[in-house]
Structure 1
Amino acid sequence: MAKYMLTRVTLNVSEVQAGDVLAEDIFVDYRLLAKKDLVLTERIIELLKLRKVESLTVRLPVDSVRVVRDLGATLVKEYEDVFAPLLEKKEVDEYKEKVSKLFMITLENVVHELRYGQILKSMQDAAFVREIFEKILEEKHRYDLLMRLKEWDEYSYVHSFDVFVLGTIFARHLGLPDIETLARGYLFHDIGKVFIPQEILNLKRKLNEDEFEIVKTHTTKGYELLLEHGEVDVAYFARDHHERFAGKGYPNSLCADELSEGVQALQIIDVYSAMTSKRVYHSGYGATDALAVLYRDRQLYNEKFMHKFVECLGIYPVNSVVYLSDNRAAQVELVYDMFPTLPKVKILDEQVSMNLPLNYSIKIIKMIDYRADSFEEIFNLFVEQLIRGEEDSLKIYFNKLIDHLHPKEIVLKIFLPSFRILRLLTREIQTDMKKYKNSINILKKLLEEQISVLYMDYQHEQTTILVIETSLRENFFVKLVQSILYIDKIVPFFINPCDGQRITQLMEHCNVNIAYFISEELTGDKRIRPMREGTFLYYTLADIEELLVSLVGMSMKKFSFEEKMQERLFSTLKA
């Protein structure tokens, strides 16, 4: 069995082979370049060599001939010799040491090439940011403010530090004046989060409308807190970082000409940091996906600054039109997860695709434009994958579609149109019924996830009674009805058909005067049955299906789904 045992071995980079597995993370210039457990490929090994990585620790079978070339012991001795003088006892400023340690520990948490790209690539950049951080915190009250945020909400602290690092380097890239003041504003832009209840900050789902209104107050409260602590020159960063062009933000609906360039840069950095960071309820966007979302909403930001930020990162999202160092224009076709700064591009004049070379002999010089996929284009790709039954790939498109959509829009713009297309394909083109049912089941899975979110998000103000056989409650149309009722802040109370007395007792208990009976087929001609306690309305699943399809294309304006159900029934009777 010994030959299957593995051991950690440190090898010269020329000794490692494709298929070896990293035994520890690789850091270069304070930046995480590759993570533990990564399976090495020839391409990755070549890239590591280009980054001047000299040795790697990998896991090898204990009987491998390469084990004898372990450099670990030699490296330990060399490190001991180098750092021995530093280990001698010296008097140090404990406060400065504490601040320096805080910087280094937090930096390791945020800096990763997959989201930082070319930012902080050199030791000089890291030293520049570190010096500014330490200078800002020379004032003890600022350290105390930062620790107050850290102790209240760790994520908000790490996010603020992340924005500080990215924003400081970006502001320098833009050539903005007074970098140190900007950096201080970026570091404390979210300080108002200390006033937001922890149970809201730590929610494992998206905020509902009431919770969001509470969170929005962190801007003005942060502004006031900074004023109280004498940070008059940077307090406006806390107040204005959620403002957007054309008055689309909060708290004051400011327009572009009312926002300083420092704030305009912060708005982009803040959103990018939030989207690419890990949270309790999501793992974070990849850099290219986050940039794509920013470009989709480009009207809200300084687009010139967005181009500059992409150039500063060196990570160009798919669909970017770029200018190469060999004077050719190209469009980014594919961004590789592990090495996003070396994408695959299509040369526009020649319509030929190529991977940018590992030695950077040809590289991207600047951003020309971004050809954003429209909602319709992404929706069409989603439906295409839905028809094919490709669950994994369609979820990528689904997540892009629902981002920033109101829950009612998710139902009206995604689920209902998708169903209508599937139904048309089945009825008009005679699509395979087995494929149709599979696609509907996939839609239902996605819908069930949304229903659970809707139930948690909304404070329900009313109830209604749906009389449905248990076997039909998993039906896709019934699930859609349930989701729309939740959005209207109505809890549907399900009950099996039984004697009228039990149903009328439930109606009296819920204080409603209508009960909706839904079945596969009607057993009689009556659609409306008046009762002493109220009225019973009868529908078939086909009725519900037609009603749902009729909602496709409706505007976001508030409507009552119960009113639509009643309208549908009475129009059917008139016909």
Structure 2
Amino acid sequence: MYTKSVKWLTLGDILAEDIIFNNEVIIKRDTPLKIMQILLIQNLGLQWVKVKTSPFLTTVNRATNISHIQQYFFDFIIHNNQNNRYYYLFENEEEILSVAKFFDELLKNETIVNLLSATNKWDFYSLRHSIDTFILGSLWMKRVNVDYRKEDCVGFLLHDIGKIKVPREILWKNGKLTDEELHIIMKHPEDGANILKNLGFSNVICEMANYHHVRLNNTGYPKPYPKNLHIMVCATMIVDVFSALTQERPYREAISFKDALDLLMKDRESYAQFLIESFYKFISRCLKKQK
């Protein structure tokens, strides 16, 4: 038995003591932890728990048939569960498995793996943001009543790939960008679209990269942009902003879900009205569960 930081709990860790909250046993000792239980423990505000020998990828995990990449995906969710981000977002563990399975399917594509590896090596924050945007976007699209192709959700994952061409000192700069630096970073959507186009990705996915910083009130970039933007492009605009605001960056702290929603709604004329309203309801459900 040893003490383990709640932040670093992983699938299959076996509790050595009951988890008690408000004089009630929430999770019993000897329980091999599943993802929803880990997120629950994190959201209770506990810092440390007693666990037995941690069986990372042991028979407990093999019994659930979790692949290596799914384990990575789950660890990402667990270790980035800020603002009750994932525990209240997912309806149940089956929904997490569904999104994880889709993620796993995408990573069977060697090109996607190479692009994500390049992003990770260049800027870990961009990779984290891309995975978070994929989780939020694909889950939202699954719940909202819109006509979309599931395979286009890869655009959520790769929308920021152009940032691998932006110097790190600009990406991580703690302060106002110069005009020249701003010009460089504003090229990343077009650079990303060109990378994806050259690798044979669909027009929709390329447009999700190229136009995710466009705003429908004629602000944003690049310009000019098509009058009729695909629904997935319009969805990416919203999810990209929300994910960026609610995740920590080297140059600023994350803000709450509520504050991010307030900012989006304040600027609602920049987005497709039915989508911004749909996204507001999608995230608001999460906020109601926290109360």
- Whether TM-score is above 0.5 comes out as yes
- The superposition leaves residues 414-443 of structure 1 with CA deviations (integer Å, 9 ceiling, x where unpaired) of xxxxxxxxxxxxxxxxxxxxxxxxxxxxxx
Q: Deviations over 1:209-230 (max 9, x none)?
A: 3211110100111000001111
Counterpart in 1 of 2:113? 143
In the other structure, the counterpart of 1:200 is: 170
Question: Which residue is equivalent to 1:102?
Answer: 72
Residue from 194, 217, 238 that aligns with 1:246: 217
Give the Cα–Cα distance (whole angstroms) in 1 for the partners of residues 213 and 166 of structure 2: 16
Specify the code of the residue in structure 2 equivalent to 1:244: R
1:236 maps to a residue whose letter is E
**How far did residue 146 of structure 1 move?**
0.9
Query: In 2, are the aligned partners of 1:115 and 1:276 still within 8 Å (CA)?
Result: no
2:8 is equivalent to residue 11 of structure 1: no
Call closer, same or farther: CA 1:179–1:10 in 2, change over 3 Å: farther
Counterpart in the other structure of 1:235:
206
The Cα offsets for residues 339-378 of structure 1, whole Å up to 9 and x where unpaired, read as: x4258xxxxxxxxxxxxxx7xxxxxxxxxxxxxxxxxxxx
CA–CA distance in structure 2, aligned partners of residues 293 and 138 of structure 1: 37
Q: Once the 2 structures are TM-superposed, how far is the Cα of residue 108 of structure 1 from its aligned partner? A: 2.4
**Counterpart residue type for residue 262 of structure 1:** M
The Cα shift of 1:121 comes to: 3.3
Q: Is the 8 A contact 1:150 1:157 kept in 2?
A: yes
Is there any run of 5+ residues in structure 1 with no aligned partner, and where?
Answer: 1-7, 18-25, 40-55, 59-71, 317-339, 344-357, 359-575
Structure with bigger gyration radius: 1
145-154 vs 257-266, which deviates more?
257-266
Q: What displacement does 1:84 show?
A: 4.3
Change (3 A) 1:12 1:342: closer
Question: In 1, are the aligned partners of 2:36 and 2:87 still within 8 Å (CA)?
Answer: no
**Deviation (angstroms), 1:127:** 1.1
Asked whether the 8 Å contact 2:40–2:87 carries over to 1, the reply is: no
The superposition leaves residues 62-96 of structure 1 with CA deviations (integer Å, 9 ceiling, x where unpaired) of xxxxxxxxxx6xx849x97xx647679xxx9xxx9
| CA positional deviation for 1:27 | 7.8
Percent identical pairs in the alignment equals: 25
Q: Distance in 1 between matches of 2:148 and 2:73?
A: 21
Change (3 A) 1:264 1:140: same
Whole-Å separation in 2 of the counterparts to 1:185 and 1:36? 30
CA contact (8 A) 1:118 1:314 kept: no
Is contact 2:39-2:86 (8 Å) kept?
no
Aligned-residue offset at 1:188: 0.4
Does 1:133 find its partner at 2:103? yes
The amino acid of 2:182's aligned partner reads F
- 1:248 corresponds to which letter in structure 2? T
Q: 1:189 to 1:31 in 2, by over 3 A?
A: farther
Q: Secondary structure at the match of 2:18?
A: strand
Q: SS where residue 10 of structure 1 aligns?
A: coil
Residue 121 of structure 1 is matched in structure 2 by 91
For residue 13 of structure 1, give the secondary structure of its aligned residue in structure 2: strand
- Secondary structure class of the residue paired with 2:202: coil
Question: Which one-letter code corresponds to 1:13 in the other structure?
Answer: I
SS of alignment partner, residue 281 of structure 1: coil
Per the normalisation by structure 2, the TM-score is 0.78
Alpha-carbon distance between aligned partners in 1 of 2:160 and 2:37, rounded to the nearest angstrom? 25
Q: Decide whether the 8 Å contact of 1:195 with 1:218 is kept in 2.
A: yes
The number of residues matched between the two structures is: 265
Cα distance in structure 2, aligned partners of 1:315 and 1:208: 40
Q: Distance in 1 between matches of 2:258 and 2:21?
A: 32
Provide the rounded CA distance (Å) in 1 between the counterparts of 2:38 and 2:238: 22
Residue in structure 2 matching 1:188, options 154, 158, 171:
158
**Alignment-mate amino acid for residue 268 of structure 2:** R
Tell me how far 1:314 sits from its aligned partner: 2.9
When residues 243 and 117 of structure 1 are mapped into structure 2, their CA distance, relative to the original with a 3 A threshold, is farther
Aligned to 1:224: 194
Q: Distance in 2 between matches of 1:219 and 1:187?
A: 14
User: Which TM-score applies when normalising by structure 1?
Assistant: 0.42
Which of 104, 113, 132 aligns to 1:162? It is 132
**Residue-by-residue CA offset, 1:128-185 (whole Å, 9 max, x unaligned):** 1111111112111110111011111000010000000000011112233444323101
How big is the shift at 1:9? 7.8
After superposition, the Cα gap between the structure-2 partners of 1:148 and 1:190, relative to the gap in structure 1 and judged at 3 Å, is: same
Over the aligned positions, Cα root-mean-square deviation in angstroms equals 3.3
Aligned partners of 1:110 and 1:162 also within 8 Å: no
Confirm or deny: 8 A CA contact 1:136 1:184 kept in the other structure.
yes
Distance 1:14 1:98 in 2: 33
- The aligned counterpart of 1:312 is 282
Aligned residue in 1 for 2:232: 262
More relative contact order, 1 or 2 (CA 8 Å, 6+ apart): 2
Q: Secondary structure at the match of 2:217?
A: helix
Aligned to 2:39: 32
